[in-house]
Structure 1
Amino acid sequence: MTIALPRIPSQKDTRLLNPYRAFKNLTLLQQALFWCGWFAWFADSYDFFCVSLTVLRLNDQFDEDTHSVTTAITLTLLLRPVGAAIFGTLSDRYGRRWPLVILTLLVVALQTGTGFVTTFREFLVVRSLFGIAMGGIWGLGTAASMESIPASSRGFYSGIIQGGYVGGISLLATVVNLFLVPKVPQTWRTIYWVGAGISAMGAIFRALLPETWVATHSLKGQYLFTTTTYRTSRTEKTRTFLRSLTQMFKEHWKLWVYCVLLTTALNFLAHGSQDLYTTFMQNSKGFSADDANKANIVSQIGAIFGGMFGGLVSQSLGRRITLILACLQVLCLAGRWIVPSAWGALAVGACFFQFGVHSAWGMCTMAAHLNELSPPAFRALFPGTVQQLGAMASSAAAQIEVGATFLH
């Protein structure tokens, strides 16, 4: 049986829309499902970035150096593909709703537990388990969000999803670290507890919305399994799904390789430019913790607008051209991102640099691009797993940076 490679929608379905019209194209339920997925990704990014923001406090708490503490970041990234594969498969087999609710509740438990650890070993174990839970969030959240979005609005909303990631690490996590953490006796622990509360809200949000994933096609010509015949046993449905899964791997392994390489490059670009940026500003530039956090907020505001801009223009220019232009902008602005010593010059340079980084991610976050390339029956497993494999491949980014002189 020959099955065609998934195709990006035709040009007539991907014309550039006014953002207002893109917003009006969605029904109330589509809006609710989209913002639910957005919120899950927002909370996910907040939870991940907590370690990056509290590196120096964790050094003091556990009497460990920066290289040792960033092991937690590496372990989190290494284990994310495990969660993406497990929960992506469950979502594609059983639906979007309850796997995401269960996954989010696991994040709540692990974020809460992070705030109660007493040894560095406990901290590493909890953050490793957190990596498994975190790995499933992106695939499940973006699948539920993007598969109901009209093709003409997909790029714009993909950029908004990327803005959710940036919002989690700048407009909330950095603000909590700046204004709450220094003022309470529990210091760094509170940033994790706030994250647990945010994720709990996300679980409630998703539980209140209906199921969206209904597989209605047979294997003939599609990678979809039959669920419409009520006489089919649950065991037979699972067998059919597993046959479909095996066939998909055999037919589309080259697509998997391409997407993993792409996400690896973009993950290195993102994690390498932002995970330890506040640490860099304090250790290398001599800024106070407050000034470093404020500069980070400025840079991530640029990232929010970059994500939306990249997603929007990719509807007209195409995903590939948008990505190339965004990477060229990053290349041209790399010096302004790290060379200046004055606070204002560094913050402005970082703002425009992150605009370019997230313009690339806005078209590719891969909310739009990976969703369009994904075999139809595996829009949670495929995008989530390839994205997290890219994150795993880039997992050493923080420790590589720590080895550079500017972080000592």
Structure 2
Amino acid sequence: MAFVNYVQDRLKTLKPTLDFNVKRDDPIRLFLSLKPRQWGYFLVGFFAWSWDAFDFHSVTITYAELSTAFGRTATEISVGVTLVLLFRPLGAAIFGLAADRYGRKWPFIINNILLVVFELATGFCYTYQQFLAVRSLFGFAMGGMYGNAAATALEDVPESAKGLMSGIFQSGFPFGYLLAVVFWKVFDEQSRYGWRVLFWFGAVPPIFLIIARLFMCETDTYQDRSPQRGSTPSFYDVLEDIKLALKRHWIRLSYLSLLMAGFSFMSHGTQDLYALMLRNKYGFDSSHITLIQVTANIGAFIGGTLAGYCSQIFGRRFTIDVACIFGGAFLYAYTFSSGSGLYAAVFFEQFCVQGAFGVVPIHLIELSPAAFRTFVVGTSYNLGILIASASNSIETAIGERYPLPSVDGTAIYDYSLVICIFAAWVFAYVILVTSLGPESKGVTLRKDDDDEDFEMSDTVSGPGAMENGTLTRTL
């Protein structure tokens, strides 16, 4: 009965909030509402996340060159990407706890130093084994970035601008991909060192982020909480933090991880095999495919920004659900078009996918306990990505059931049908999990139930409370 009441309550609260004021919510006014200090934090977090994406996609866009350099197949090179995904949750947990207990600043700096080292090291790899080892270490460093970057960028943003800035922040990932494509085109044509230059160059921008962060203090939100946490904790205290976080927030962490798994399946399910589909089924060349991918990422950037803004007006869950509904509606055109209309289909499909994703940063932050915000946000995000890392294998396995006629004897499959079916189910899953989940839009980010004497009642007034660790109106 309690579960039935919970579901009924979640569905009732799903209706749009329509919290809109023309003077307050005008996008220009929202931009102007950020003080220079807040812009500084946001830009540091945004570019850190964008360059994380650049570093990650430096491998995905150079599969052919890496295969030649190491004498391996593209499938074997993809193991490097898998290892990155495997080690990301570990980095998220360690750097997240460090940022929550020691401050955002120094874990951020150390994290970027590691990224610089591992990006440089990738460019100096000469064996396949070296490549896999370095990319594993890179995955650890990459995992630590999202939670800290999101907290740094969004914690101090004015309440009315949080949705808009969340969308822009999350759009840093497709922005990073676009940068990787652009710079790869430049280096591939002008450098005799080929793919190595892309990684060497990737190690440079984080140095500027480190310098910028050195001149910035902790966010106001974190500083307001610092006196409650007492003196600097010892290593033993940090270990106790880990046990405390898992003991008191395992339900919340589990829910957010399952939610993020859906989002990651949605993203990877519509993107990973798309280039292969265009090449095998429709005969597109690499230049045409690159142009289509750029169009998709432009749509993703705009969609994330606009949906993030709308979530401040209509609510987080409602905005995610609407984006998923429209994303499902565009699936057929996205997978079965090959003419001039394909560009529009690609643009709007990724507009919807990244639109739903644009709400994620602020939604995760609002649902995370302040004392473990970076830990919960980063760990749940990367655990979801880890779970969804199987999406490529799942779609490939399904695709083998739908072979297409081959011209040269090479086995090809109808990935149009696969992507369409798989993504439709994923959209439905995200809608279901989002609709039945909690929402804490507008909650103060400076309140912390865990800080005071480490005695958390886990009770929050109004919708979204968890009393004595028991599910009431939220998770």
Query: What is the TM-score of this pair, normalised by structure 2?
Result: 0.75
Q: Structure 1 residues 14, 256: closer, same or farther in 2, change over 3 A?
A: farther
The answer to whether 1:393 aligns with 2:401 is no
CA contact (8 A) 1:74 1:398 kept: no
Task: Name the larger-Rg structure.
Answer: 2
For residues 194-223 of structure 1, the C-alpha deviation after alignment (integer angstroms, 9 at most, x for no partner) is 2211222222222222222645559xxxxx
Which position in structure 2 is the counterpart of 1:313?
A: 310
Name the SS of the counterpart of 2:52 in structure 1: helix
Report the alpha carbon displacement of residue 102 of structure 1 after superposing the two structures with TM: 1.0
CA contact (8 A) 1:41 1:137 kept: yes
**What are the within-5 Å matches in structure 2 for residues 303-342 of structure 1?**
303-342=300-339
The CA RMSD over aligned residues, in Å, is 2.5
Report the alpha carbon displacement of residue 165 of structure 1 after superposing the two structures with TM: 1.1
The answer to whether 1:180 aligns with 2:187 is yes
Q: Structure 1 residues 140, 378: closer, same or farther in 2, change over 3 A?
A: same
Match of 1:269 among 249, 266, 269: 266
The answer to whether 1:377 aligns with 2:371 is yes
Name the SS of the counterpart of 2:149 in structure 1: helix
Report the alpha carbon displacement of residue 77 of structure 1 after superposing the two structures with TM: 0.9
Tell me the distance in 1 between the aligned counterparts of 2:267 and 2:198.
22
Q: Structure 1 residues 386, 14: closer, same or farther in 2, change over 3 A?
A: farther
Structure 1: give runs of 5+ residues left out of the alignment: 1-7, 219-223
Report the alpha carbon displacement of residue 388 of structure 1 after superposing the two structures with TM: 0.6
Name the SS of the counterpart of 1:64 in structure 2: coil
For residues 320-354 of structure 1, the C-alpha deviation after alignment (integer angstroms, 9 at most, x for no partner) is 11111111122111222232234x43332211110
CA contact (8 A) 2:19 2:313 kept: no
**What are the within-5 Å matches in structure 2 for residues 93-242 of structure 1?**
93-170=101-178, 172-212=179-219, 214=222, 225-227=228-230, 232=231, 234-235=232-233
Report the alpha carbon displacement of residue 137 of structure 1 after superposing the two structures with TM: 0.5
For residues 124-167 of structure 1, the C-alpha deviation after alignment (integer angstroms, 9 at most, x for no partner) is 11111110000011001011111111221110000000121111
Tell me the distance in 1 between the aligned counterparts of 2:184 and 2:257.
33
Match of 2:349 among 332, 347, 353: 353
- After TM superposition, the structure 1 stretch with the greater mean CA deviation from structure 2, 189-198 or 386-395, is 189-198
Which position in structure 2 is the counterpart of 1:221?
A: none
Query: What is the TM-score of this pair, normalised by structure 1?
Result: 0.87
Which structure's relative contact order is higher, taking Cα pairs within 8 Å and 6+ residues apart? 1
The alignment of Structure 1 onto Structure 2 pairs a total of residues equal to 384
Tell me the distance in 2 between the aligned counterparts of 1:400 and 1:207.
44
CA contact (8 A) 2:19 2:312 kept: no
Give, as a single letter, the amino acid of the residue that structure 1 aligns with 2:191: V
Structure 2: give runs of 5+ residues left out of the alignment: 1-12, 400-411, 416-475
Give, as a single letter, the amino acid of the residue that structure 2 aligns with 1:295: I
Give, as a single letter, the amino acid of the residue that structure 1 aligns with 2:175: G
The answer to whether 1:32 aligns with 2:26 is no
Tell me the distance in 1 between the aligned counterparts of 2:248 and 2:143.
25
Name the SS of the counterpart of 2:156 in structure 1: coil
CA contact (8 A) 2:82 2:389 kept: yes
Tell me the distance in 1 between the aligned counterparts of 2:207 and 2:273.
27
